[in-house]
């Protein structure tokens, strides 16, 4: 199955956390197919925090959506993620954005991600690696812009 994951970090060595998350996601059940460049973005929700580094990856997996979510959450914990404030700062965040055309509305997992089409920090890197993508809403990724300032990271 084809899935897209959004990664973000705004604490500590952001490049390290993004790289470690991608490495940890790569295993016999998850194959990373594409990785966007890294973008520097303003926080979403709670504004008084450091800037984020965000990227999106495309993966192929045989895991079910909930299993993939649990793998992502285990990696977040291993990399020091603490869930103290809603939309607060974090070492790493791994969001399951889209999982094929599956829609889910459980307490534990909502697919597609409920804020997918509102957040430029997800849409810009998603458009970079999947310019042909039709979003679950039926709209093309090229026609949805979202909100927020997104700048390619130059290192």
**Domain layout of the chain by residue ranges:** 2-152
Mean pLDDT of 48-74: 96
pTM, two decimals, is 0.94
CATH number of 2-152: 3.30.70.560
pLDDT of residue 155: 56
pLDDT of residue 26: 94
CB 152 within 8 A of CB 37: yes
| 83-120 tens-digit pLDDT | 776 667 999 999 999 999 899 999 999 999 999 999 99
By annotation, the residues acting in catalysis are: 81, 90, 93, 95
pLDDT of residue 23: 97
Mean pLDDT of 141-151: 94
Query: Which comes out higher in pLDDT, residue 3 or 27?
Result: 3
| 5-35 tens-digit pLDDT | 999 999 999 999 999 999 999 998 999 999 9
Measured on CA atoms in the order 31, 56, 84, 151, is the torsion positive or negative? positive
């Amino acid at each position: 199955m084809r899935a897209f994951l959004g990664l973000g970090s705004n604490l500590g060595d952001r490049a390290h956390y993004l790289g470690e998350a991608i490495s940890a996601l790569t295993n016999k059940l998850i194959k990373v197919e594409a990785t966007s460049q890294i973008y520097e973005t303003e926080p979403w929700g709670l504004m008084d925090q450091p800037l984020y580094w965000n990227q999106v990856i495309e993966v192929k997996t045989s895991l079910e959506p909930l299993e993939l979510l649990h793998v992502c959450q285990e990696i977040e914990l291993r990399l020091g993620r603490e869930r103290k404030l809603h939309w607060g700062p974090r070492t790493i965040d791994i969001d399951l954005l889209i999982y094929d055309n599956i829609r889910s509305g459980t307490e534990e997992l909502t697919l597609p991600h409920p804020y997918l089409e509102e957040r430029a920090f997800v849409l810009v890197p998603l458009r970079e690696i999947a310019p042909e993508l039709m979003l679950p809403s039926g709209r093309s990724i090229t026609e949805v812009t979202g909100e927020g300032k997104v700048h390619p990271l130059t290192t």
